[in-house]
Chains A and B, each alone.
Chain A
Amino acid sequence: MTYRSTFRAVGVIVGGRVIDPASGFDGVADVILDGKGRVERIERAGRDRRYERVPGAVLDAGGMIVAPGFVDLHCHLREPGREDEETVASGSAAGVRGGFTTLCCMPNTEPAIADQETVRFVLDRASSAPGRVYPVGAITRDREGKSLAEIAEMVAAGAVAFSDDGAPVASAGLLRRAMQYAHMFGVPIVEHCETPELSGNGVMHEGLVSTKLGLRGIPAISEEICVARDIALSRETGTHLHVAHVSTAGSVAIIRAAKAAGVNVTAEVTPHHLMLTDDWVARDFDPLYKVNPPLRTADDVTALRAGLADGTIDCIATDHAPHAEQEKDGEFDLAPFGTVGLETALGVCVKALRETGLMEWLLLIDCLSRRPAQVFHLPAGAIAPGAPADIAIIDPDARWTVTPDQLTSKSKNSAFYGWELTGLVKSTIVDGRLVHESNGARGRALPS
């Protein structure tokens, strides 16, 4: 029995605007679950009252959007090693609060997720978490970039992709061998694209703002050279390359050309890179705006949004990076990189993509659910008969202000404090069970 089985079962979700990117369906409907954690059928709202015979509860979703649960290909859950910052359970709880029913956690833990025992450890922790969690294994032993980790054994244990995230595989020769090896198992190689000798000790985007602030810069070319190198290796080996947290207009252009040429490459972008520019660092040198890759320019933000809209960038991923308060409370250049993002992702994306007129709900939900699930071949991202009943119920008009009290993540290092966001996840269902319900969410239990 998993922890999830202790949550209240949902039998039917009635009267919501069901948006299923996989089928293109967008209309008011009832979603009937089968009582075994799967979707049984979708039918016209109020067509009949058969649902009242479904064991379990009715969830009234009137005025709400009923979407596939979101899938995050890139988050940091800090377990093992920094359980003071986040755990698999607390990260998953933050995830379901943000509508994410599936999380893929990066291997830069202490020790790194670089062998089958650690993969199993994470999956064991995940079994008692409210949402689904899949580990991403390290490409190299201890993420040291020197020799290959035991990729086959980690695949067998349940790792869904491989990355040395936090750093690139600096050696092109070793990455080539990693791609050749991973190709045997059909798993993606996820690269944190950065050229260490170009980034140096940089702490923010290199440009006019870094020049004014006297902070060491990370040039855009640092990312772009690595993206180009990795795409060349992907083209040669045929291995699926997934570019993590794309941040520059140049990278978007390189990926667009590679896709047009048929290279097996996918990419993700974070909500904060879709919303913020390096100008935010100039507001009092606040380390909450210190992320890697760094916040770039307005032109980059425009290119990232366009790249996501036209499919060059496949999906949105949070790069949720929790840090203890004292680590982000000091000098900018000494603070660690990263912002939490699971609970603000939807609202920030609404602001960046919907309120700018760039996306309708269907495409936005696609970028958060179906598309990422496809990238890592995960059983998620659809509301369809037989699909896992992983569902996010969204109040599209709810406005809320981001404050530390609003976040359930163990760490509170959000770059969006004080922002008023539109779009709130009212309820989240995993395996047919209600794992999150925010205040004011409408729901009632059927009389037994």
Chain B
Amino acid sequence: MASDATPAPPPGRLRIRHLLGLEGVCREDIEKILTTAESFKEVLDRPIKKVPPLRGQTIVNLFYEPSTRTRISFELAEKRLSADVVNFTTAASSVQKGESLRDTVKNILAMKTDVIVIRHPSPGAPHFLTRATDAIILNAGDGAHEHPTQGLLDMYTLWERWRTLEGKRVLILGDVLHSRVARSNIWGLLTMGAQVAVCGPATLVPACLADLGIEVFTDVDAALDTGFDAVNVLRIQRERQSSDFLPSLREYARLFGIDAARASRLRPGALVMHPGPMNRGVEITSEVADGDASVILDQVTNGLAVRMAVLYLLCGGQVPAAAAREGE
């Protein structure tokens, strides 16, 4: 869900002011992010991997949930853009003393920060911040809602290979019900003209997704028969097993796991993706995860470039809010 859409952004800027999700983000914005990410990926190959666009801007990484790769990726992207970075985790904060999200953020903003990158277990927490603050908000994953930079980096990984997503068929496989990655992928891919299908056990794939114009399968072999250019394998969340969504991981692996035989039924040149962390031997075998079709590590690298692009386009070219306040 995009907010604050404006009709005509200046060059180098996006129509959206915040990145809350990919639902509603226009094709023009996505294309701008993908092409900008390409130029930042080039920066990552330089001996000195740092550029100055966000010098003087202060970014807070507000992580209410454990995260390794997303937090490191954001932090590196911010540092590569020369921003000042503060990391906040709830385990060592006033949140443990009962402080509300609004008060936590108000306190952080009182320290003159410009951008908040938030990961939160509650869907819509970033949207709440847009009502509670004037800062630029970047959603780094809100519950089972969206994870827009993951969706963008997944799209970038495909776009980098194909230069277009129009007409490409992408299968999202696994626990769609609880996956913020799946939602962001669905919105982004549909906007870019791809055909999207989801597949997984009926307990984990809401049938109403068909109302979004995507195919819904509960039989992975039947799905593969329809031909796909890429499969995005979602992590099976082991913590969900106590809720009786699945009889066993063993049965899941047999029914829905991607092994070499199933991967071979993808279209020639097709790509295998996974947002990580992987449960090897459950949703994906090592043979596939480390095989020629896998672009899983490319996704991680591309995540850095995409996050640099998003931060640059949301913040770049404007006077840092803190500096503007000081000049008043």
Contacts and interface: CB of A to CB of B under 8 A. Distances in A.
Interface of A: 207-208, 211-215, 282, 284-285, 326, 329-334
Interface of B: 1, 3, 23, 100-102, 120, 122-125, 127-128, 130-131, 142-146, 177, 180, 183, 206, 208-209, 211-212
B123 A211 contact: no
Contacts of B23: 212
Contacts of A326: 100
B208 A284 contact: no
A447 B145 CA distance: 67
B123 A215 contact: yes
A284 B127 contact: yes
Contacts of B128: 284-285, 330-332
Contacts of B177: 211
B166 to A, nearest CB: 24
| Among all A-B residue pairs, the 4 with the closest Cβ atoms | A285-B124, A214-B145, A214-B144, A331-B122
Contacts of A332: 122-124, 128
Contacts of A208: 206, 208-209, 211-212
B131 A284 contact: yes
Contacts of A282: 1
A204 to B, nearest CB: 10
Contacts of A212: 23, 183, 212
Nearest to A331: B122
Contacts of B208: 207-208, 211
Contact of A330 (B1, B102, B209): B102
A317 B41 CA distance: 60
A331 B101 contact: yes
Contact of A285 (B100, B102, B127, B209): B127
7 contacts: A207-B208, A208-B209, A214-B183, A282-B1, A285-B123, A285-B124, A285-B127
B145 A215 contact: yes
A435 to B, nearest CB: 37
A211 B1 CA distance: 13
A331 B211 contact: no
A332 B1 CA distance: 16
A267 B137 CA distance: 45
Contacts of A214: 123, 142-146, 180, 183
A329 B124 CA distance: 12
Contacts of B145: 213-215
B209 A211 contact: yes
B146 A331 contact: no
A333 B211 CA distance: 25
A213 B100 contact: no
A215 B1 CA distance: 14
A86 B188 CA distance: 46
Nearest to A210: B206
B124 A330 contact: no
B122 A333 contact: yes
A214 B100 CA distance: 22
Contacts of B100: 326, 329-330
A334 B122 contact: yes
Contacts of A330: 100-102, 128
B66 to A, nearest CB: 18
Contacts of B211: 208
B102 A329 contact: yes
Contacts of B142: 214
Contacts of A329: 100, 102
Contacts of B130: 284
Given A212-B212, A332-B124, A333-B143, 7 more contacts: A215-B144, A285-B123, A285-B124, A329-B102, A331-B122, A332-B122, A332-B128
A285 B137 CA distance: 15
B31 to A, nearest CB: 23
A220 B8 CA distance: 42
Contacts of A284: 3, 124, 127-128, 130-131
B183 A331 contact: no
A207 B212 CA distance: 12
B52 to A, nearest CB: 35
B89 to A, nearest CB: 17
A213 B102 contact: no
B123 A213 contact: yes
Contacts of B143: 214-215, 333
A211 B206 CA distance: 7
A20 B208 CA distance: 46
A274 to B, nearest CB: 24
Choose among A214, A284, A334 the residue with the greatest number of B CB atoms under 10 Å from its CB. A214
Contacts of B122: 331-334
A30 B117 CA distance: 66
B124 A213 contact: yes
A265 B141 CA distance: 46
B117 to A, nearest CB: 17
A330 B3 CA distance: 18
A331 B124 contact: yes
Contact of B120 (A211, A213, A331): A331
Contacts of A207: 208
B97 to A, nearest CB: 15
Nearest to B210: A208
B201 to A, nearest CB: 15
Choose among A207, A211, A330 the residue with the greatest number of B CB atoms under 10 Å from its CB. A211
Nearest to A285: B124
Contacts of A333: 122-124, 143
A332 B145 CA distance: 12
A331 B131 contact: no
Contacts of B180: 214
B85 to A, nearest CB: 25
Contacts of B124: 213, 215, 284-285, 331-333
A361 B311 CA distance: 57
Nearest to B180: A214
A110 B107 CA distance: 33
Contacts of B127: 284-285
Nearest to B125: A331
A212 B144 CA distance: 9
A211 B146 CA distance: 11
Nearest to B178: A214
A213 to B, nearest CB: 5
